[in-house]
């Protein structure tokens, strides 16, 4: 069985964020035990190690947890099958040996100049039919919140 993976909302922080557009693929497929690489970038320039790319995993009813920080560093307790890199002009998160426990929302954070503000950017992709494992993006979360009668404009990932 193949799992569809949606690439995630991009959390971008810094003073130059308003001039940036998120560049990301809307969906990928991966089979159990396979390898998946999620990427995120900026429209007007390349992502470099100076953007200190970080990746966060959030499962339902849990706070986000850091899986990668400063491009390729893993906090203790994060398995080595999670790795970060710069691929071309984008930040990349690679998960090898994908497991059902990897089902979560994943967020990419990029530093763009200062720590004055945090903006959550959302992808503009429609979700495909629900597969066995979904790594959902912010647009899907907002649609769910609207269906449940919640405030779709309420920030997702607030307090990171």
Q: Model-level pTM?
A: 0.63
Q: What is the dihedral of CA 22, 151, 58, 39, to 10 degrees?
A: -10
156 in a domain, yes or no? Answer: no
User: In the numeric block, which tokens belong to residue 134?
Assistant: 């979904």
- The answer to the question of residue 153 being in a domain is no
- The residue segments making up the domain with residue 75 are 3-147
For residue 100 the two structure tokens come to 């059902």
- The count of structural domains within the chain is 1
**157 found inside a domain:** no
Q: What number of helices (H) and strands (E) belong to the chain?
A: 1, 11
Question: Is 39 among the domain residues?
Answer: yes
Give backbone dihedrals phi and psi of 28, rounded to 5 degrees, phi first: -135, 160
Cα 2 to Cα 16: distance, rounded to the nearest angstrom: 38
pLDDT at 134: 46
What is the distance between the alpha carbons of residues 30 and 118, in angstroms, rounded to a whole number?
A: 31
pLDDT higher than 60, residue 89: yes
Integer CA distances (angstroms), 69 to 36, 56, 92, 111, 153, in order: 18, 9, 12, 11, 28
Taking residues 125-140, what's their average pLDDT?
46
The reported pLDDT for the residue numbered 72 is 97
Which of the residue ranges 36-50, 60-74, 85-99 would you say has the lowest mean pLDDT? 36-50
Q: Which of 95, 1, 96, 5 is nearest to 55 (CA)?
A: 95
């Amino acid at each position: 069985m193949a799992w569809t993976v949606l690439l995630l909302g991009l959390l971008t922080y810094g003073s130059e964020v308003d001039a940036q557009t998120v560049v990301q693929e809307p969906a990928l497929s991966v089979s159990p035990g396979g390898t998946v690489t999620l990427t995120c970038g900026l429209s007007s320039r390349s992502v470099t190690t100076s953007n200190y790319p970080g990746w966060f995993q959030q499962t339902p009813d849990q706070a986000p947890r850091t899986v990668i920080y400063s491009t390729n560093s893993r906090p203790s307790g994060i398995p080595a099958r999670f790795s970060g890199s710069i691929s071309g002009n984008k930040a990349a998160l690679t998960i090898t040996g994908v497991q059902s426990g990897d089902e979560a929302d994943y967020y990419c954070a990029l530093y763009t100049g200062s720590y004055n503000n945090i903006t959550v950017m959302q992808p503009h992709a429609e979700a495909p039919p629900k597969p066995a494992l979904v790594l959902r993006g912010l647009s899907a979360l907002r649609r769910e919140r609207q269906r449940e009668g919640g405030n779709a404009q309420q920030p997702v990932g607030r307090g990171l």
